[in-house]
Every structure is written in C-alpha cells, then in structure tokens.
Amino acid sequence: MPAPHRTQRTDKLQFFATAAQGLEPVVAEELRGLGAQQVKEARGGATFEGALAVAYQACLWLRAANRVLYPLTRFKCSDAQSLYAGVQRMPWENDLSPDGTLAVDFTGSNAAITNTQYGAQRVKDAVVDRLREKFGRRPSVERQHPDLRIHCHLHRDIASVSLDLSGDSLHLRGYRRAGGTAPLKETLAAGLLLKCGWQKIAAAGGSFADPMCGSGTLVIEAALMAGDAAPGLLREYWGFNGWLKHDRRLWEKLITEARRRQAAGRGRMPVILGYDRDARSILGAQENARAAGVAHGLRFEHRDLTHARLPAGLQPGLMVTNPPYGERMGVMEELGPLYALLGDWLRQQCAGWQAGVIVADAALGKQLGIRARKMNAFHNGPLECRLLQFDIKPEWFMRSSAAAET
Ligand SMILES: C[S@@+](CC[C@H](N)C(=O)[O-])C[C@H]1O[C@@H](n2cnc3c(N)ncnc32)[C@H](O)[C@@H]1O
C-alpha cells in the first residue's frame, strides 16, 4: 500500500536531497544547519525529516545539492503492469489538477523494464488515466516547467515514486549568462567551497581569490555564501509552483526572510578576487556576477597568473581554483609548467592562506610542489577529480624555487 502523504504545516515528512558523488557529507551538513532532523547520508544524497517548511528551505538554501525529492511511495514492481498499478492507486487528485501539466523522470531499470523512456511513459499513463477516470479530463505533458514533476526510480524490483520539489536541477541558480571554458557546475563549486571551510573563513573576514576564474563560478558562489544570499533566490520555477498542496504563504514568508538576510549580508562581504588570462572570460564573469547581484563585492582583473598580484595588506583567506585539466595524452608536457607556476604563485602570494585546487590528474597535482593536507575524490560530470587542500606554509612546501619537477 502506498504510504499516506499529507502536508500539514507541522507534519513530519521524509525527504531526499540528491548530490553528486563525493558531496553527500557536505549536503548532510548543510541540511543539519537548516534544522532538518534525522539527517542521514546515503548513496547519491542525504535523507532527512521535517515539516514542509524544511523542504522549502532545502530548495531555497542548499548550495551543494542537485534536487530535493519528496518520496510518496515504494512498491514491488516486477513488470510494467505492476509499475502502472502501483502508480495508479496513488491519490494523484490531491496533488495535481486534471487541467494541470506533468513530467516524469525515470531512472534505473530491472529485468522487465530496461528502457527508462518506456518506464516514464507507463508512470505518466497511470497518473493521467487515474485523473481522467475521476474527472473526465486529463493533465497534459509539459517537459520544461510542469505543475508536477514526478520522479520514479527503479532498483531491482522496487519502484520509488517521489515529487521533485526543486523542479529543475538546483545548479540552475538563474545567474549564468556566460559559460566560458569548461565552467564548473554551481552546486559543485559551492560544495567544494564548503569542503574548504569557506563559510568559517569568510565569517572571520578572510579574503577569497581564484586566479583562473573563467566564468567566475567559484568567485560568485563564494560571494553568495559570504553575503548570506540564498542560492535559490533568483529562481522563478520550482517543482511545487503548480502542486495542489503548495503552501504559498509559507513559501512567501521564507522568501521574504531570505531577502532580508541577503540585504543584511551585503555589508559583510570580505575581499573577493577573480583573475583570468582570457579577457572574454573576465567579461563573462562580470556579467554573471551582475546577474547574481554580487558584482558590488567582487574584483575581477584580466591577468595571466605570471602577472597576477594580490593587493598588499590583504587579510589571508582561501584560494580555490580549477585550472585547465587536459584529458588527453601529453597533458603533463602541456600543463605541467602551468601547475608548477600555480604552486610558485601560491607560495609567493598566498603565505598563510588555505587553498583548494581541483585536479583530474594526480601527477599534475604533484607539480604544485606543495604537500596536500587533505584529498577528496568527487565527480565533475563523468570526470573523476580530486580536491587537494593545502596550508600555504613552508613546512608543507616540497620545493621553494620556481623550477617545475620533472
Ligand atoms: C577550467 S577553466 C575554469 C573554469 C571556471 N572554474 C568556471 O567555472 O568557469 C580554466 C581557466 O584557467 C584560465 N587560465 C589558463 N591558464 C591561465 C594562466 N596562465 N593565467 C590565468 N588564467 C589561466 C583559462 O583561461 C580558463 O578560463
């Protein structure tokens, strides 16, 4: 039998925040900070409990999560017929108007259902048929911005059906105007900053720099965090906009509070700097920063690393950067000198700072010539990467000259 799903303001409900592999602990920590209860890390995210307000806060404030799901039911699903029946017996009339729109995302497979498109079709048919039987009218399919986005995951012979409250992936903050070269996903950039302890460093007035900032993702996410701005504040579409149980007054209240916090945070911005040798990237980063509403607190300069100098008297803080990776053969010859240059720059410009460097190739990381104090694996799309964390102090230096190791 499907679990009853009620959404009174005070009900304790169960939710799941999805996250890229490697960021699950970060998202779990964020959820605890938002007051979620029973937070548990899981593969691909974290489960949590709370009233509807906690799920809304998760949508609005989680920086590193991809989606917020509201699980409705789990049932045994050995074939297409049991999938259809399990979905059809859910009281969809409480969630979706027969005149509304829906989309279904389907992941996973089993021996009987091997095609996700077919699985999605059966789920959609079951919802639509139920509403048509009840009302004589049926909701229509809308891929982009449906009133209800249903997520169905099949694992072995268990189907899990959820509402996708985020609607769109949470990395779509609404500020990206320019892409640049291989931009980081916003959720990943934020997750790596959280791993590096940026919130604490910023609260203590520490500075931030990314000397190869590209389209500015790390810099902008650092500014949003330092300024206490909710990452979801610019988004207009949510998966609950057209949900029949959406509590508009509650959502408006949370938005008003987030706006108040953002206004209060504007005056607390530390120095945040972004450099890149590519002029177009810097223009794009500035455009993105304006759209994000953080341009007032950022300084961008068009500079090659060789000529990038941090302003004198800067409070030490955090440097995080994502240098070109190179995925091909011969990458060491091509990029080794750049990583060695970055290591020299860190030793010369960032004494006493913390640093995080994203590398896809461990051998390139060694070219920095500084021993990492911590190393975490994560996925950047299909690419397995590592976040190397450094204390820029002489005791960690493997060399002091500008010469690259061979
Ligand atoms: C992988 S991209 C960074 C992407 C960025 N994190 C974003 O989200 O858009 C690497 C960047 O390093 C810059 N770059 C490469 N060599 C550089 C150098 N010597 N000095 C400064 N920037 C450099 C490139 O122009 C490029 O924008």
Name the 3-class secondary structure at 71. strand
Ligand 1 atom nearest to CA at 323: 10
pLDDT digits (tens, 9 = 90+) for 305-351: 999 999 999 999 999 999 998 765 567 788 999 999 999 999 999 99
Cβ pair 358, 334 in contact under 8 A = no
DSSP 141: E
Hey, whose CA ends up nearest to atom 3 of ligand 1? 214
CA 180 to ligand 1 center in whole angstroms = 9
Ordered DSSP codes for 279-314: HHHHHHHHHHHHHHT-GGGEEEEE--GGG--PPTTP
What is the structure's pLDDT at 406? Answer: 35
Backbone angles phi, psi at 124, to 5 degrees: -60, -45
User: Has residue 12 got a pLDDT over 70?
Assistant: yes
The average pLDDT across 217-230 equals 98
- pLDDT at site 250: 98
30-50: per-residue pLDDT in tens? Answer: 999 999 999 999 999 999 999
Distance between CA 202 and CA 273 in Å, rounded?
A: 13
* DSSP run (H or E) holding 332: helix 331-349
Identify which of 58, 82, 83 has the alpha carbon closest to the alpha carbon of residue 150.
83
- Pocket of ligand 1, candidates 193, 277, 342: which has the most ligand atoms within 8 Å of its Cβ, to mutate? 277
The minimum-distance atom of ligand 1 relative to the CA of 338 is: 19
Q: If you search the block for the tokens 């077919």, which residue do you land on?
A: 118
Residues with CB under 6 A from ligand 1: 180-184, 212-215, 217-218, 276-278, 281, 304-305, 322-324, 338
Tokens of 170: 């949470």
| Nearest ligand 1 atom to alpha carbon 285 | 9
Predicted confidence (pLDDT) per residue in 155-212, tens digit: 999 999 999 999 999 999 999 998 777 899 999 999 999 999 999 999 999 999 999 9
Report CA(277)–ligand 1 centroid distance (Å): 7
Q: Which atom of ligand 1 is nearest to 180's Cα?
A: 9
Selection from 165, 187, 175 nearest residue 250 by Cα: 165
pLDDT at 260 exceeding the cut of 80: yes
Nearest CA to ligand 1 atom 27: 214
Is pLDDT of 5 > 60?
no
Q: What is the pLDDT of residues 277-300, one digit of tens each?
A: 999 999 999 999 999 999 998 999
Q: Which residue among 185, 275, 276, 282 is best mutated to probe the pocket of ligand 1, counting the most ligand atoms within 8 A of its Cβ?
A: 276
Q: What is the mean pLDDT of the chain?
A: 93
Domains along the sequence of the chain with CATH: 13-164 (3.30.2130.30), 186-227+269-396 (3.40.50.150)
> Burial, 344: exposed, middle or buried (Cβ in 10 Å; 0-12, 13-18, 19+)?
buried
Atom of ligand 1 nearest to the CA of 215: 9
- Cβ pair 59, 68 in contact under 8 A: yes
pLDDT of residue 11: 78
pLDDT of amino acid 189: 98
Tell which wins on pLDDT, 308 or 10: 308
| pLDDT value of position 180 | 76
Q: How far is the CA of 306 from the centre of ligand 1 (A)?
A: 13
Question: Under DSSP, is residue 42 helix (H, G, I), strand (E, B) or coil?
Answer: strand
360: phi then psi, degrees, rounded to nearest 5: -100, -10
172 sits in the region (left: phi over 0; alpha: psi -120 to 50; else beta) called: beta
Written as six digits, the tokens of 26 are 């970060």
CA–CA distance, 392 with 378 (Å, rounded to integer) = 23
C-alpha of 144 from chain center: 20
Look at residues 59, 348, 346, 8 and name the one whose alpha carbon lies nearest to residue 357.
346
Phi, psi at 156, each rounded to 5°: 50, -120
DSSP letter (8 states) at residue 139 = -
| pLDDT for res 390 | 98
Calculate the alpha carbon distances from 40 to 48, 53, 107, 155 in Å. Answer: 6, 19, 22, 20
Distance 390 CA to ligand 1 centre (A): 20
Please check whether residue 109 is in contact with residue 154, taking contact to mean a CB–CB distance below 8 angstroms.
yes
Residue among 173, 221, 281, 321 to mutate when testing ligand 1 (max atoms within 8 A of CB): 281
Output the CA 298–ligand 1 centroid distance in Å. 17
Determine how many CB atoms are found less than 10 A away from the CB of residue 341: 19
**Ligand 1 centroid from CA 276, angstroms:** 6
Helix (H) or strand (E) holding 341: helix 331-349
Encode pLDDT of 125-148 as tens digits: 999 999 999 999 999 999 999 999
Which residue, by CA, sits nearest to atom 1 of ligand 1? 324
Average pLDDT over residues 362-379: 95
pLDDT at res. 229: 98
**37 C-alpha to ligand 1 centroid (Å):** 40
- The pLDDT, as a whole number, for residue 400 is 62
Report the nearest atom of ligand 1 relative to the CA of 217.
Answer: 8
Instruction: Tell me how far the alpha carbon of residue 324 lies from the centroid of ligand 1, in angstroms.
Output: 6
Name the closest-CA residue to atom 8, ligand 1: 183
